[in-house]
Amino acid sequence: MGFRLTKIYTRTGDQGETGLGDGRRVPKDHPRVEAIGEVDTLNSQLGVLLAGLTEDPRLNEVYEVLAPCQHRLFDLGGELAMPAYQALDAGEVQRLETAIDTWNDEVGALENFILPGGSMLIAQAHVCRSLARSAERRCQQLNAVEPLSAVSLAYINRLSDLLFVAARIIARRQAIAEILWQSAKP
């Protein structure tokens, strides 16, 4: 990758437009820019989760599985910014599915609805999960007007599933009870 930013501000976006990697200028609220923003927000929050995971050796495997996701989210952002660019492949989706299956076998079937919480790490994993769903919605909105790759859409969908199971595996490995939803009606 030869392109490097030497200046952070360009003043070219002051009028409410931004440039894409293919040279197009679009409004900052264009569905493509919205999708890029949601993926970036998810990536930032995933960074917070990863920083917390490094503090507990029982969670090394969780860190090892989730750390590459930050890089793949950056790749997805690149795909969104440069529509002809394709970085993700089916192997990445399969990697997430393998981790989901492995962790799900460990935590067992979900018998009740669970709420985010129990510890900061569990809650942060759920924040990331919900942001992955938001990023997926934005990508699907974009896909309705400008088709995206099926692999990219599958990746962001599977990532939210992985983050849900990651929250559960964090709870299990830290021996923290999951917070079960309680109906308002007895």
Say how many C-beta atoms besides its own lie within 10 A of residue 164's C-beta: 22
Contact 58, 169 (CB under 8 A): no
Question: Rounded mean pLDDT of the chain?
Answer: 90
DSSP H helical ranges for the chain: 31-53, 60-81, 90-107, 120-145, 150-173
pLDDT tens for each residue of 80-110: 999 888 999 999 999 999 999 999 999 988 8
- The arithmetic mean of pLDDT across residues 110-118, rounded, is 89
Residue, of 9 and 44, whose pLDDT is higher? 44
Q: At 17, phi and psi to the nearest 5?
A: -120, 160
CB neighbour list of residue 36: distance below 8 Å, 6 or more residues apart: 77, 80, 81
Residue 27 has pLDDT above 70, yes or no: no
Calculate the CA dihedral of residues 120, 121, 124, 129 and round it to 10 degrees.
-140
Residue 96, both tokens: 């997430």
Phi, psi of 180 (to 5 degrees): -90, 140
Would you state the pLDDT for residue 15? 66
As assigned by CATH, the class of the 26-180 domain is mainly alpha
pLDDT-based confidence at residue 11 (cuts at 50, 70, 90): low
Stretch 148-160: mean pLDDT = 97
Tokens of 32: 């493509």
Q: Residue 49: is its pLDDT beyond 70?
A: yes
CA distances from 119 to 47, 115, 128, 177 (A): 17, 11, 14, 10
- Is residue 22 scored above 60 in pLDDT? yes
What pLDDT does 1 receive? 47
**Is the separation of the CB atoms in 155 and 88 below 8 Å?**
yes
- The mean pLDDT of 23-50, rounded to a whole number, is 89
State mean pLDDT over 28-35.
85
